[in-house]
Each structure stands twice: as C-alpha cells, then as structure tokens.
Structure 1
Amino acid sequence: MSTVLQLVKRFREVLLDGVWIANTNFKDQLKDVTWKQAVIKAGSLNTIALLTFHIDYYIAGLIRVFEGGDLEIRDRYSFDLPPVESQEQWESLVNKLMSDAERFAVLLEQMPDTKMNEPFVAEKYGTYLRNIDGMIEHWYYHLGQITLIKKLLSSDLI
C-alpha cells in the first residue's frame, strides 16, 4: 500500500470510522455529546467543544494548503472558539469537523506519494509526511482527552 493510502487510512480511522488503535474515533465519541456536555469545563481540562474546534482548525488550515492556498493557521488561534450557546451551534461545529475531515481525506488520497517527501510550505516545517503523520498522532492524543472527559461527565467526579 502506498504511503498516501496508509496516511488516508490512519486519518479516517482516528476521525471517521476506525477502531484499530483506540477502539473508537471522533465521529463515534462526538455523536452522543449534547451541547451542554460539550461546553462543561471539567477542572482545568479543555472542553469537548474546544477540542473539537482545535482539531477542525488545523484540518481546515491544511485543506487550504492542499487546495493551493497559503498556510494561514497559527497555533495561538487554534483554541479561539467563539461561545457555543445552543445545540444547533454544537451540531454545526461537529458537522464542520466531519465535513472537513472527509474533504481532507479525499484531497490527501489524490496526492502522489512523491509529494510526501517535499517540504510542507517551507523547509522549516518539514515534509508533508512529517506534518500529516504528526497531525494524526496529535488527534489520537485529543481523542483520548475527549474520551476521558466524557467519562468524567458521566461520573460523580465533577
């Protein structure tokens, strides 16, 4: 299997439909979260809504690059979620993540393997492979956080 197809498979596993590594994925974890649960602050942890925004912020930024645009995302803005004040706003945030994840997977699937060893935007960022692989690993980290926050919300611990 090509490098690109392996990355697409791993990306889809963590975001959309996999169970191999974590026995779950973002789509499964977010499908039954209500708006009120999404915005509850459990101690010093980020909210589920904030983590959902954070993940989509980077995916949307990479889509822009994949489509020929500039790299406009900045770490300092990756947690700038506007207030989520309704179930509709929460569902819109989740739907945007799922839609962007699907778009990202389709665009990645169309890349030639040779692109993976090219610099990502600028030499200082490393290669496409390094950035995409790192992003996937980072999403597993946040998937674990969301899973634990959901467990805390369903317990008497908060």
Structure 2
Amino acid sequence: MKNNQQLANRFREVLLNGTWVANTNYKDQLENLPLQIAQTKMGDLNTIAILAQHIHYYIKGVSVVFKGGALEIKDAYSFNFQPMTSETEWKAFLTTLFKDAEEFATLVEQLPENNLNDPFTDKKYGTFQRNIEGMIEHCYYHLGQIVVIKKLIQQL
C-alpha cells in the first residue's frame, strides 16, 4: 500500500471508522450525542461541540491547500464558534464534519506520492506528510478530550 493511502486510512480511522488506536473514533463518539450534552460545560474545559468544530476548522482549512488554495486558517480563530441553537443544527454540523473528513481522506489518497515530501505552502510548515501526520495526531489528541469530557458529564 502506498504511503498516501496509509495516511488516508489512518485519518479515516480516527474520524470515521477505526478502533485500533483509541478503541473509538469521532463518528462513534458524536453521531448519537445530543446537543445538550455536546454543549455541556465542564469547568474551564472546552465543550465537546467546540472541540468537534475546532477539528473541522482544520480539516476544512488544510483541504483548501490540497485543492491548490492558500493556507488561510489561523490558530487564533480555531476555537471561536457560536453555540449551536438546535438539535437540527448540531446534526447538520456532524453530517458536514463526516463528509468533509471523507473528502480530506480522499484528497490525501489523491496526492501524488512524490508530493508528500514537498513543502506544505511554506518550508516553515514542514512537508505535506508532516502536516497530514500532524492532523491525525491532533485529531487523536482532541478525541481523547472528548472521551474524557463525556465520562465527566455522565458522572453528573
């Protein structure tokens, strides 16, 4: 299997269908989660909804680069989201998150193997491969937070 296909599969594991590393994934954790729980605040922690939107922000921003666009996302804006106001809005967001995650994985698969070591928009950001691996690691980091926050909420 080519490296880009392996990276795409690892990304799908954390977002859509895997259980190998964390024994869960975003889709398993979020798909049937009510908005009320997703927006429950636990101390000074981010809510589950904010963490999901944060990950989506990066998926969308990096996908633009894979499509030939500029890197326009900024860390400073990556947690700035308005609370959702309805279950319908939450479900629509989740549908978009999972659709965009699959698109991201497809873009990784379509990236020519010889481009994995090319600079990602600028040498200071490393290579495409480093950014894809960083995205996977970033997703796992926040997935762990989501799992812990859900457990804390269940103890209320």
Same fold (TM over 0.5): yes
Distance 2:61 2:138 in 1: 15
Deviation >3 Å, runs of 4+? none
SS of 2:150's equivalent in the other structure is helix
User: What residue is the counterpart of 1:101 in the other structure?
Assistant: 101
Q: Is it true that 1:82 corresponds to 2:79 in the alignment?
A: no
Match of 2:40, as an amino acid? Answer: I
Q: Which moved more, 1:93-102 or 1:51-60?
A: 93-102
Q: How much has 1:44 moved relative to structure 2?
A: 1.2
Q: Deviations along 1:115-154, whole A, 9 cap, x unmatched?
A: 1100000111000011110110111010011011111111
Distance 1:62 1:138 in 2: 13
Count of matched residue positions in the alignment of Structure 1 and Structure 2 = 156
SS of 2:46's equivalent in the other structure is coil
SS of 1:101's equivalent in the other structure is helix
TM-score of the superposed pair, with normalisation by structure 2: 0.97
User: What residue is the counterpart of 1:141 in the other structure?
Assistant: 141
Distance 2:46 2:33 in 1: 15
Within 5 A, what are the aligned runs for 1:6-45?
6-45=6-45
Distance 1:129 1:103 in 2: 17
Percent of aligned pairs sharing the same letter: 54
Distance 1:49 1:125 in 2: 28
Do the aligned residues in 2 keep the contact of 1:52 with 1:93 (CA within 8 Å)? no
User: What residue is the counterpart of 1:61 in the other structure?
Assistant: 61
TM-score of the superposed pair, with normalisation by structure 1: 0.96
Do the aligned residues in 2 keep the contact of 1:8 with 1:105 (CA within 8 Å)? yes
Q: How much has 1:91 moved relative to structure 2?
A: 1.0
Which runs of 5 or more residues in structure 1 are unaligned?
Answer: none
